[in-house]
Structure 1
Amino acid sequence: MRRQLWLLGLLLAACTTNAKPLLDDFDTNGLDMTKWTTAQIKPDQMRPVIPGRCTPQAIEIITLLTDSEGSDCPKDEPMCQRAEIRTAKQYWPKYGDEIWYAFSFRILGDIPRTGSSRTVIGQWKEPADDSPFLAQRFDNGVFHITVEDKGVRRVVALAEGNIDDVQSVQRKLNTIKSPAIVAQALREIRPLLQGKQSLLTDDTNVAKNLNVAPSKLVETLRPLAFVSEPEKYVGKADIELTSPLTPQLPDPSKGWIDLVYRILPGRTDNTVGPKRKAEIDIWANGTLVAEVRGNLGNPLTTEEQVNSGLYFKFGTYRARVPGTFRFQFDEFTQRSRPITELRPCPPR
């Protein structure tokens, strides 16, 4: 009964939004340039691929070692590999509108288990954001989804490991007094777990910050050892996560996965725009995997920001690593009314 009332509330809320729907099954030989922009991808990095998720064709984005400069890399990161496709601006919903997204994707090729150094494979940005407030990541071989509050990041779902253990670490990272030494400890945990010599030179101080015994330090930090930018996870974040009964994400390197997102932007400290906590609900392969509530993104201060909307990008954005990385994407839907068809077609 509670779930039925919740769905009814979503249906009523969705009726108040006017975002232009966007659908694409990528069955044409070329990318539909009325729906997408390609400022951050080169023509030879994308191609049609057969078969698609449900229909004959999907789109594939390829990242090679030779793509050392990518397209539109930041000045402070000249060696990035970037190949991303963005929704056309006419489809950007106004900030504060409730929007639903659905799509399918999988990953093929070389997927490093270590040294991946930040791999983003899908992201949403709001008007005041530098880093995405919501992102799909594939760091050190672990697929996971993150959200951010003013640049402080939290994992909200993952394909490998236990989300409850990750949440336990993240709660500790909310209250520490010396962020730099704890971030360094997180950075050094992964080599230590791989049997390399310990680099933790200040175990006692780090343990004190986390309020654990020094002998428990490695065990405490282990669940979050896969993240590639540990400094982003240290600090206060107003983010609440409700773990459902099945919080595990599927692994996109093992086949197509179907994701559905419900996104309602907001912050309680916005100067303009909705002054409420944001809401994000995520389904993977038809199963609810995360319910997120909190202050997401950065505070909005002008009406121009509110009207400029938020946008979605898919593809690959990472630091340069060896190998060929293939990202296949299909069955995209963006609309303001609820998406009840949580899987577009039977699994393959």
Structure 2
Amino acid sequence: MFARLLFSCFFVAVCATYSVTLSATHSLGAELREGFSNGRLNKFVWATCQADYPRLFTFDEEVTNTTTTRYLTASIDKDRGDVDNCASREAYRKQGVDLGLAPERLERYTADDDATDLGFSMIAPDALSLESRCEEGDSTKVQRNELRLLQKKYVHDVSDPHWYTIRFRTRGTPPPCGSSRWIMAQWKYAPASEWPHDYSQNPFLAQRFDNGVFHITAQRDRCRCMVAVADGDPDLKTDDPSLPAAPEGQGQRALKKSQPLKCTRKDKACTPEGFTVWTTDGGEPPLLPDPRKGWVTMSYRVKPLGAEQGQIDVYANGRFIVRMSGHVGHDGLGPSRMKFKFGAYRDRITGTHHMDVDRICISRKIGNCDRTITQVGLTD
């Protein structure tokens, strides 16, 4: 009897330990649910070859009367340069080998972007013109501190629609220099050898933070469009970093055709053919919340086929913001897999900035990632 009781206690203890470990990283029904609650980075999930780890990564918690929020902080400072060990195939695989992961379990190696082949910025496409925008910066260099997915099981085909939810906030004062190609999260195609090089380099979807103004861009081939923005001008050079708060509330359910806020290619206006923007009333999308003012939960339903069936839906704090449908991404590229990264990527500028990340979730079902969302009608 005592032996049975001892075994039961041991079994319960093991299950409880397993449950805590599972909930901290991923849980049943979700391809990935990462809460950063263990106070350390899970290297079985995140590749660190493009990150200044552990120097510029910290773990902290925020305690209120009702909740305790544990989060990861990815920082950028004046000493962080464009160190990219992912550029070495062997260095990229070393992390998996050190963890005891078989090569077939790792996501396929893909060379990544560099300072000379990022593609065109939505605001300032010509990299050489950025020098005058940031007088204290260096437009010929970039600063990167990003985490990317390590194992194949967290990466899906671009034809398989998935939800991505990221809860984050930002701290620090961005330099008031207009566009610095500042990216906080980006979605790319895993490149194939026959593709034009810049197709795989340009993120077809990105969260950006130019001039301290949160905004989202989507791409149709080489035409990049700003499709949603917080209150403020990402391209404005100003010494006033203050921004008013975004409005709250939930929009209607019926969608009507709208227009991108701005589209450019090589610093000239462009019209993305077959790329349709939808909002609740046919006008401009609701303002995005400001991540400098508090936690923001962004959820994206992503299927970037590039052909007519592509679709990306964007929600902020449970509220529908905008949809892009039709030719989303790049045409004629054949099968590909998603490449998702988050952290900081920008032209080299002075100062220190922090991105706090409380949660990242990737799943076919939004209920696994964000239960505050009431979906608008799907077209696929």
TM-score range, shorter chain: 0.5 to 0.7
The match for 2:31 is 21
Structure 2 unaligned spans of 5+: 1-28, 86-112, 117-138, 192-199, 240-260, 374-380
1:35 pairs with 2:35: no
The match for 1:235 is 270
The match for 2:280 is 244
Within the candidate set 274, 283, 300, 2:315 is matched to: 283
RMSD: 2.9
- Report if aligned partners of 1:46, 1:61 keep a CA contact under 8 Å in 2: yes
Q: CA deviation at 1:151?
A: 2.1
Structure 1 unaligned spans of 5+: 1-18, 167-186, 195-222, 269-275, 344-348
| CA 1:125–1:287: 2 relative to 1, 3 Å | same
| CA 1:46–1:78: 2 relative to 1, 3 Å | farther
Q: CA deviation at 1:338?
A: 2.8
Q: In 2, Cα distance between the equivalents of 1:127 and 1:338?
A: 24
Task: Write the deviation string for residues 189-227 of structure 1: whole angstroms up to 9, x where unpaired.
Answer: x56x99xxxxxxxxxxxxxxxxxxxxxxxxxxxx86xx9
The match for 2:360 is 332
1:93 pairs with 2:156: yes
Indicate the structure whose relative CO is greater, using CA pairs within 8 Å and at least 6 residues apart: 1
1:147 pairs with 2:218: yes
- Report if aligned partners of 2:52, 2:80 keep a CA contact under 8 Å in 1: no
Amino acid at match of 1:334: I
- Report if aligned partners of 1:70, 1:79 keep a CA contact under 8 Å in 2: no
1:80 pairs with 2:142: yes
Q: In 1, Cα distance between the equivalents of 2:219 and 2:151?
A: 23
The equivalences for 1:48-127 within 5 A come to 48-51=59-62, 55-71=68-84, 74=114, 76=116, 79-90=141-152, 91-127=154-190
Q: CA deviation at 1:101?
A: 1.1
Amino acid at match of 1:26: F
Q: CA deviation at 1:121?
A: 0.5
Q: In 1, Cα distance between the equivalents of 2:358 and 2:343?
A: 12
Number of residue pairs aligned between Structure 1 and Structure 2 = 257
Q: In 2, Cα distance between the equivalents of 1:139 and 1:314?
A: 16
**Among the aligned pairs, what percent are the same residue?**
29
Q: Which consecutive segments of 4 or more residues in structure 1 shift more than 3 A?
A: 52-56, 68-73
| CA 1:335–1:84: 2 relative to 1, 3 Å | same
Task: Write the deviation string for residues 301-339 of structure 1: whole angstroms up to 9, x where unpaired.
Answer: 44xxx2x51021110000011110101112211011233
Q: CA deviation at 1:36?
A: 1.2
Q: CA deviation at 1:116?
A: 4.6
Q: TM-score, with normalisation over the residues of structure 2?
A: 0.61
Q: In 2, Cα distance between the equivalents of 1:233 and 1:123?
A: 23
Q: In 2, Cα distance between the equivalents of 1:33 and 1:112?
A: 32
The match for 1:317 is 345
Q: CA deviation at 1:267?
A: 2.5
- Report if aligned partners of 1:27, 1:55 keep a CA contact under 8 Å in 2: no
Structure number with the higher helix fraction is: 1
Q: CA deviation at 1:55?
A: 4.5
Task: Write the deviation string for residues 52-87 of structure 1: whole angstroms up to 9, x where unpaired.
Answer: 896441000010011134445725376211000012
| CA 1:300–1:29: 2 relative to 1, 3 Å | farther
| CA 1:301–1:135: 2 relative to 1, 3 Å | closer
Higher alpha-carbon deviation: 233-242 or 94-103: 233-242
Q: TM-score, with normalisation over the residues of structure 1?
A: 0.66
Q: In 2, Cα distance between the equivalents of 1:65 and 1:161?
A: 26
